[in-house]
Structure 1
Amino acid sequence: MEKWVVCAKRADFQKISQEFGIDPVIARLIRNRDVEGTENIRSYLYGTLKELPSPWLLKDMDKAVEILQEKIKEHRKIRIIGDYDIDGVTSTCILLKGFQRLGADADTYIPDRIKDGYGIHEQLIQKAVEDGIDTIVTCDNGIAASAEIADAKERGLTVVITDHHDIPFQETENGKEWIIPPADAVINPKQADCAYPNKNLCGAVVAWKLIWALYEKNGISQSEVLDFTELAAVATVGDVMDLQGENRIIVKEGLRQLSATHTPGLRALIRANNLDGAEITAYHVGFVLGPCINASGRLDTAARSLELLCETNEEKAAELAGDLLALNQSRKAMTEKGKEEAIRLIEETGLNEDRVLVVYLPDCHESLAGIIAGRIREKYHKPVFVLTKGENSVKGSGRSIEAYSMYEEMVKCGDLLIQFGGHPMAAGLSIEEKNVELFRKQLNANCTLTEEELRPKIVIDVPMPVSYLSRELTEQLKILEPFGKGNTKPIFAQKGLRVLNLRIFGKNQNVAKMKLEDQTGMQMDAVYFGEAEKFADFVRQQEEISVTYYPEINVYQGRETLQVVIRNYC
């Protein structure tokens, strides 16, 4: 059973309401997202790209710019080594387009998920040497590759790291000892001595900041710098960064650009997904466009997604977008099959007793492990690792819950792992097959999660009667967008509601429509998406129910009506 709690943060909501011309409910929602003080509220509501911190605040930015200026001037060969997910592909694209604009002799290599694995490896360094490369610039990887970077330096290569992942460390008697690779410049806001205020940038924004600084140094117009905002926004949403402060501004402005994009590849992808002319939201990026970009790196090669983003020919872009759409359809079917197998194993082998789930699916495509782990986490509300059989070792991905720092827990099991890296909420690893069961046991032996922490929590923003709703308030909620991690869609709640005229619709019987009546007799249209029959059975047994909800304007056959979308019920 979920635990419902009310967010009760205090502020003078009437004063904020009057100062900014917003409903007091909106003022409360902003405070619930930890936005306080006149200047921060103003930035949240009306912030622009002019407010983004200077790229020069990033540690080693001056070093990296000086190195790259010299390399470009001397026509040295530069190779960008990216990653095969949405953040890695977009950051590679930003660096490539930026370097080309500066006249650099630059090419790219995005590792193959199966053949190369994540990040920079010995074979990629060897290939760079054979190809006469002078300088490697990483994006969305490199911070955990100290040995590989040392190897590259020994072979005479210059290396600039741009990354955003957690800095590797080892525990010593004096606490954590950070392990920084011996690159010529390391740009990563998570370094302890980095002055950049936002520690939660995605890899593409870090790469963008490098191009931003280089453009400034070379007197290139800021309008050209800001052309990359849409790619930075796609990566920020796709890599599930917190939509707060700078990230929120980037996504807000980037989505505005994306809805009328001049980039042929993005335009083709939008069209292929039947979104032409639509207002592109964070939802579309996270659940429609983003998965298509990711699909090529999962089932084929991420070079195809990079090719789409860089393509200038409309016809070719349309062809590439169609290919990615088809790949994503295949990925969806394979994911569903893997999820069902994982659930069967958990239920039939007693794994559901574990507080940390480690599920080994040897026949599952290794690129789907992270998605399946996410689905399993949603079902069981536990940290989950899904492991698959790779060519040389077992590989896997993990997805966590707020109370469990996945990366730090993996450090404690580091002796069992061949390689690992990631964040508190997500991680990747490789391990020998003989150590899989040991890994599961050690994670659970170390686990300190309590029953309370494992219980899903529904945080209600405002307990609010549906009778308070109005079209004006519902429209005003749009100023809180874009919604996502760190700026979640508001949740309202009311108890003591009667359900009237319940009907079930949908090809899969997954939509329930009804009217909700409160104790004053006021009625409101409502809809529930999910297991509609289960919902209907529950309602039949109750005189009154409690719901969490979100209001929306429903448009049907040209008519607009106010309705609530039920999220949870009890």
Structure 2
Amino acid sequence: MLPAKKSPNNEIKEIRFPGQVFAPGLVLSGEKKCAYSKVCRGEHMEKWMVYAKKADFQEIGRKFGIDPVIARLIRNRDVDGEEAIQSYLHGTLEELPSPWLMKDMDKAVEILRTKIAGNKKIRIIGDYDIDGVTATCILLKGLKRLGAQADTCIPDRIKDGYGLHEQLIDQASEDGIDTIVTCDNGIAAAGEIADARCRGMTVVLTDHHDVPFRDSENGREWIIPCADAVINPKQQDCSYPNKNICGAVVAWKLIWALYEKAGIDKSEILDFTELAAIATVGDVMDLQGENRIIVKHGLRRLSETTRPGLQALICVNNLKGAEITAYHVGFVLGPCINASGRLDTATRALALLCTEDGQEAAKLAGDLYNLNQSRKAMTEQGKEQAINEIETEGINKNRVLVVYLPECHESLAGIIAGRIRELYHKPVFVLTKSENGVKGSGRSIEAYSMYEELVKCRDLLIQFGGHPMAAGLSMAEENVERFRKKLNENCTLSENDLMPKVMIDVPMPISYLTETLTEELKVLEPFGKGNTKPLFAQRNLHVSKLRIFGKNRNVAKMTLTDSDGVWKDAVFFGEADEFAEFVSMHDTISVTYYPEINEYQGRRTLQVVIRNYC
């Protein structure tokens, strides 16, 4: 249906119209504008690409009882072979890798069993985001179930900063703590861990962040802290098959191994599945393999959870009785949990997850909901300030955007960086003024490993850590401009890297859409990073009956009709007036879309949700 240009690897094609890339941008009034559902800034245009991965989709559909389109969508998500397809469609928790595959797991289990038997004081030191809070909850509940004398310490974002700082070691020593167990942090705290051990404390490290390294003439040197046990699947010599699990899952695996050793029933191990699922979605892990199974089963448990804190959080967000999806975790429930550590103290979110009291849960959930509402308003204000800084100071010409917002609340830097990355499709660091200099968070694009680039700037930084796609850092204020300059001097991103790619699963006419197929798409859920919602495309569609709704005029409803006269209801969310203007200037449009069933007042109608247009 759509002419295409094959890519060298024969797995992705660039869709083209005669003489132009399919949907790169439009010339309106002499200006290039990106025909996309979000505001797009800068000179970069979109490139629409279609997957062309090979398989016998008819045979896969027959064998697994699915539509061939579903078979193609699964293949596009790099699921290949009957065993992998079976696991993708029907994977169970029994398939999860054994915790004993993790390096130092046996060592950590023996240490903690000995400490518990000796009634030694154990302190869990976590983190203030959704992953760290859920990991702390899992460790606390699990260790106490085993009879441990355990307490927790979640650093204060403003006072302590991220990770295992000196003041936390001091406090543990003063409190007579025998053993520290870290979660979602520690791999970058070699000095602090050495200090703790010098003071006679035992340290069990659990983390999932990238292992720090130094590059030298002799190659790459990995810096592993001298903890008594280091559990992190990203260690080079760790045999655990999934390197991309969140900190809460690493913590869960430790409790899993301890429970197995203690002979505790498997059902109690699986009671932590919903917390692991929340953290996996909230920390934006790839929803593939083990992570997909955890989230799929965790969401089912979450919809009927018996945990008072989660029940209350679901209720305060008007989701009681609803089927909880990854979207609800990522954009409704998760931000409430994160808001505690951003604007207050994360101990409130931890208390919510741990409480067994319904009244306390309701109060805490209400507090977190209100904090999140405040966070939303402050984020929007910070985003607008960042855009103004980028445009007025000429920062938009840089390939790596470093925005310094001294007055911005430092807890919002990461969220704002993510929003700016969406607008410019460039790596973004947002820096804020702190008590001891400057702190910041970064959000990246696929072609740019943020953590590795920070390693090259370590001489300018006080502290840093993170992943390829996200990182945190601190520095002296006088180094801000030098940091911006060095990042851009080192940057090797090409214009092609900076062009947003719209990945289309199937160029499929709207005439193929049915309620049955749309319902069948649910077998692909949960959707998220690494398992995105399906995206289809069709060209030469006529638009009629266009109406604009919403107080911000951000919803356009219409009818789309193809050349054979087949029509479908459609909706577009975004700059609706801009969309309407574009439609008025063209006889037909091309769109990317996904289908959904719209239920309203007892009526079910199939509709097309437009994502991009040209």
TM-score, normalised relative to structure 1: 1.00
Q: Which residue of 1 aligns with 2:9?
A: none
CA distance in 1, matches of 2:148, 2:251: 16
Identity of aligned residues (%): 78
CA distance in 2, matches of 1:471, 1:523: 14
1:38 to 2:82 alignment: yes
Among 298, 304, 314, which residue is 2:348 paired with?
A: 304
Q: Which residue of 2 aligns with 1:473?
A: 517
Among 125, 145, 155, which residue is 1:111 paired with?
A: 155
CA distance in 2, matches of 1:382, 1:31: 29
SS of aligned partner of 2:386: helix
Q: Which residue of 1 aligns with 2:8?
A: none
Deviation at 1:174, TM superposition (A): 2.3
Deviation at 1:508, TM superposition (A): 1.4
Q: Which residue of 2 aligns with 1:72?
A: 116
CA distance in 1, matches of 2:341, 2:219: 38
1:123 to 2:167 alignment: yes
1:425-474 Cα offsets, whole Å, 9 max, x none, are 00000010000000000000000101111010100000000000011100
Q: Which residue of 1 aligns with 2:20?
A: none
Deviation at 1:399, TM superposition (A): 0.1
1:372-422 Cα offsets, whole Å, 9 max, x none, are 000000000000000000001100000000000000001001100000000
Q: Which residue of 2 aligns with 1:247?
A: 291
Q: Which residue of 2 aligns with 1:566?
A: 610
CA distance in 2, matches of 1:125, 1:349: 42
The letter of the residue matching 1:133 is I
Among 485, 490, 501, which residue is 2:545 paired with?
A: 501
CA distance in 2, matches of 1:3, 1:548: 12
CA distance in 2, matches of 1:559, 1:296: 39
Q: Which residue of 2 aligns with 1:25?
A: 69
Q: Which residue of 1 aligns with 2:4?
A: none
Matches within 5 A, 1:135-534: 135-534=179-578
1:2 to 2:2 alignment: no
SS of aligned partner of 2:496: helix
CA distance in 1, matches of 2:199, 2:600: 65
SS of aligned partner of 1:454: coil
CA distance in 2, matches of 1:174, 1:468: 58
1:130-188 Cα offsets, whole Å, 9 max, x none, are 10100000000000000000000100000000000000000011221100000000000
TM-score, normalised relative to structure 2: 0.93
The letter of the residue matching 1:543 is D
1:343-389 Cα offsets, whole Å, 9 max, x none, are 00101110000000000000000000000000000000000000000
Deviation at 1:507, TM superposition (A): 1.8
The letter of the residue matching 1:377 is R
Moved more, 169-178 or 210-219: 169-178
Q: Indicate the RMSD between aligned Cα atoms, in angstroms.
A: 0.4
SS of aligned partner of 2:497: helix
CA distance in 1, matches of 2:252, 2:519: 33
The letter of the residue matching 2:384 is E
The letter of the residue matching 2:102 is L
SS of aligned partner of 2:250: helix
SS of aligned partner of 1:566: strand
The letter of the residue matching 1:481 is E
1:98 to 2:142 alignment: yes
Structure 2 unmatched runs, 5+: 1-44
The letter of the residue matching 1:320 is L
The letter of the residue matching 2:570 is A
Q: Which residue of 2 aligns with 1:54?
A: 98
CA distance in 1, matches of 2:195, 2:586: 68
CA distance in 1, matches of 2:162, 2:179: 20
